[in-house]
Structure 1
Amino acid sequence: MASGYRFSEYIPPQGNEANFESLLKIFLQLVTMTSGDAAEALSWMSSLDKQYNLTSDSYGMGDFIDDLRKKGYLQENPEDGSMQITAKSEQSIRKSALEEIFGKLKKGNEGNHATPHTGIGDEATTDRREYRFGDALEQISMTDSIRNAQVNHGLSDFMLTEDDLEVNESEHKTQTSTVLMIDISHSMILYGEDRITPAKKVAMALAELIKQKYPKDTLDILVFGNDAWQIEVKDLPYLEVGPYHTNTVAGLELAMDILRKRKTGNKQIFMITDGKPTCLKEGIHYYKNSFGLDRKVVNKTLNLAAQCRRIHVPITTFMIASDPYLQQFVEEFTRVNNGQAYYSSLKGLGHLVFRDYRRNRKKTF
């Protein structure tokens, strides 16, 4: 029986299902921008509908909201009856961010960071070699080893020695632990430019990418303003900018604490920010200076960059700004850490983060 592919004419979805899918894409974008506020996102959608006729007489905004409930994207808060997104919506937002930012990537098999080294690994190859002390029993190729024993000792007095053993070679696969630092200081929404939404999308896309393609890697996410604290991936859609200064020191200290607990060989920090460090915490008080690169704040930040270098943790800084005033600090910070820095527009941020993640995960720092 012949096998192959049968091609037929593509018929796009019709009716309500097509309308729902197109509206869902808009809703997921808006709910990200509203930090998970479903009611505000739907209000924006209603305004857009009036302006651009998103719905039709056969499928209105009320039908769409009903379908969001039925399909598990929306639920009522039992306490106050307000609408809120569900875990299904949160996952859809991450997948949508992944498609938007890394949509041109091809899917790959599960795995870790490939290296040129062979040994005790989890990726089998077609190569064979002699047995070495410490090789796992499951690596031994019994067929090849028995054949060697027959050739070396004959069939009449069969015996199997260590010299007869052959093992299936395997490749080392490295694992990488990444901490992603996101600046949530007030400047991330200053001057009418929304910088926090692209940062959230990049974090969600990176998390979904690691989950799908590199499941043995770890990604920890923290945010920093006056202080720094760790958040879960599921918290990202709800992330908001606060009336904060930029305490980069607190962020780096927390990132280093997280990475100390990780047992992987490769560790790295990605930092998405749009400004200079302007804050330190001294005891219960905050030392702040928003007007310039205060040497007291800068020196403490550079000291941490040097500490990261000594423990082989490179820092890649993604500066969402092109202010020449900041470049001197970023260049000094990068030189002290021996890391990398990029001055990125909001549009190109995701591609830069992915490119560096993929490149760094192939290194042994």
Structure 2
Amino acid sequence: MALGYRFAEYIPPEDSKPSFETLLKLFLQLVTISSGDVAEALSWLSSLDKQYNLTSDEYGIGDFIEDLKRKGYLDENPQERGSFSLTAKSEQDIRRSALEEIFGKLKKGGQGTHATPHTGIGDEASTDRREYQFGDALEQISMTDSIRNAQVNHGLGEFRLTEQDLEVTETEHKTQASTVLMIDISHSMILYGEDRITPAKKVAMALAELVKQKYPKDTLDIIVFGNDAWQIEVKDLPYLEVGPYHTNTVAGLELAMDILRKRKTPNKQIFMITDGKPTCLKIGLNYYKNSFGLDRKVVNKTLNLAAQCRRLKIPITTFMIATDPYLQQFVDEFTKVNNGQAYYSSLKGLGHLVFRDYGRNRKKSF
């Protein structure tokens, strides 16, 4: 008897409508794109619901909003009914969502430089135990303690082992790293019909969450640069927007070097996410700007700082999300002067490259 396939019309199950968790994932994506504008994100969600029938008669967008408030994701402005702001819980979930989206799909492999969620596992096991967290390696799980927890939590009648039962052995890292992540917020990051700032934000949030979970002794500072440069907190990332700015790479590098100068860790590095060339300098109280071609006055100052970072043993890894040949030529020269690394990445591959290099660089002394 020959084996074959039998095809029939697919009838989705009645309970296929998204649950709160499914809608929450979509909402967190939208609120990141809207730079923390809850009203705009909910408006987009309503439009998607109208177009794709995301909800049902039993559970609508209004029910979802009430659940967001009840579960601590939104605060309602008492002075203006219907006006909401994100809570700290939402901000943390946005970071976790970014980590899972960018990093969680990668599988553990053999030795090498591949990006995996297990890169940088601690060198030595300690006697400390803690709850399982996203990204922990299987070999860290303490099976004896985990099975004991399952028996306590679920009883002896039927053995079940859930994620909540798992305990892992904490590890200690022999190396520590201080990283400054520079994000370009010049106007070109949203020009030409391409949203480049949202992927950059997601990478920054995911990296921040990874450092918090896996490398608690490391430091990660985030700065943004346009006409000027300034430091921002991790909690500010969902609200980050581009401005009508030029690209003052010099200001960004100077601030990054100042931050790293105060760090006492053995490994120091700068990651820079940008889509363009330096076009701006601040001279005294005035700005020198030139967007046409590669202005040697701006470029030479930028290259001088790259060389200075090299002398201080601070490598710069540049993630260029643009493909113009003359921009690549500048990045090649910048990288050669610093003895750093450069990647010409699509937005889709940006997160993988950042995570790979973070895990690889923190293991070596610069």
Q: Distance in 1 between matches of 2:273 and 2:189?
A: 10
Q: Distance in 2 between matches of 1:70 and 1:15?
A: 23
Partner SS, residue 57 of structure 1: coil
Where does residue 166 of structure 1 map in the other structure?
none
Change in CA separation of 1:353 and 1:108 when aligned onto 2, cut-off 3 Å: closer
Instruction: Give the superposition deviation at 1:76.
Output: 1.2
Where does residue 49 of structure 2 map in the other structure?
49
2:257 corresponds to 1:256: yes
Instruction: Give the superposition deviation at 1:104.
Output: 2.9
Instruction: Give the superposition deviation at 1:325.
Output: 1.5
2:188 corresponds to 1:192: no
Instruction: Give the superposition deviation at 1:77.
Output: 2.6
Deviations along 1:42-77, one digit per CA (max 9) or x if unpaired, are 000011111111111111111011101101111113
Where does residue 29 of structure 2 map in the other structure?
29
Q: Distance in 1 between matches of 2:319 and 2:220?
A: 17
Q: 2:178–2:219: 8 Å Cα contact kept in structure 1? A: yes
TM-score by length of 2: 0.78
Change in CA separation of 1:109 and 1:286 when aligned onto 2, cut-off 3 Å: closer
2:220 corresponds to 1:219: yes
Q: Distance in 1 between matches of 2:172 and 2:85?
A: 47
Q: Distance in 1 between matches of 2:79 and 2:334?
A: 48
Q: Distance in 1 between matches of 2:173 and 2:15?
A: 51
Q: Which amino acid aligns with 2:258?
A: D
Q: Which amino acid aligns with 1:357?
A: Y
Partner SS, residue 271 of structure 1: strand
Change in CA separation of 1:172 and 1:74 when aligned onto 2, cut-off 3 Å: closer
Where does residue 67 of structure 1 map in the other structure?
67
Change in CA separation of 1:216 and 1:111 when aligned onto 2, cut-off 3 Å: farther
Within 5 Å, which residues of 2 pair with 1:39-188?
39-81=39-81, 82-105=83-106, 114=123, 173-188=174-189
Change in CA separation of 1:62 and 1:172 when aligned onto 2, cut-off 3 Å: closer
Q: Distance in 1 between matches of 2:200 and 2:223?
A: 12
Q: Distance in 2 between matches of 1:172 and 1:29?
A: 33
Instruction: Give the superposition deviation at 1:95.
Output: 0.3
Q: Distance in 2 between matches of 1:277 and 1:361?
A: 28
| Gap runs ≥5 in structure 2 | 1-13, 109-116, 128-170
Q: 1:76–1:84: 8 Å Cα contact kept in structure 2? A: yes
Q: Distance in 2 between matches of 1:333 and 1:109?
A: 28
Q: Distance in 1 between matches of 2:60 and 2:358?
A: 43
Where does residue 146 of structure 1 map in the other structure?
none
Change in CA separation of 1:79 and 1:337 when aligned onto 2, cut-off 3 Å: farther
Partner SS, residue 347 of structure 1: coil
Instruction: Give the superposition deviation at 1:80.
Output: 4.0
Q: Distance in 2 between matches of 1:108 and 1:195?
A: 27
Where does residue 281 of structure 1 map in the other structure?
282
Deviations along 1:243-275, one digit per CA (max 9) or x if unpaired, are 000000000000000000100000000000000
Q: Which amino acid aligns with 1:261?
A: K
Q: Distance in 2 between matches of 1:239 and 1:20?
A: 26
| Gap runs ≥5 in structure 1 | 1-13, 115-121, 126-169
Q: Distance in 2 between matches of 1:281 and 1:80?
A: 41
Q: 1:111–1:216: 8 Å Cα contact kept in structure 2? A: no
Q: Distance in 1 between matches of 2:23 and 2:195?
A: 23
Partner SS, residue 94 of structure 2: helix
Deviations along 1:122-176, one digit per CA (max 9) or x if unpaired, are 7679xxxxxxxxxxxxxxxxxxxxxxxxxxxxxxxxxxxxxxxxxxxx9970100
Where does residue 331 of structure 2 map in the other structure?
330
Partner SS, residue 23 of structure 2: helix
Q: 1:210–1:217: 8 Å Cα contact kept in structure 2? A: yes
Change in CA separation of 1:16 and 1:39 when aligned onto 2, cut-off 3 Å: farther
Q: Distance in 2 between matches of 1:57 and 1:76?
A: 25
Q: CA RMSD in A?
A: 2.2
Q: 1:94–1:201: 8 Å Cα contact kept in structure 2? A: yes
Q: Which amino acid aligns with 2:35?
A: S
Q: Distance in 2 between matches of 1:33 and 1:337?
A: 34
Q: 1:123–1:173: 8 Å Cα contact kept in structure 2? A: no
TM-score by length of 1: 0.78
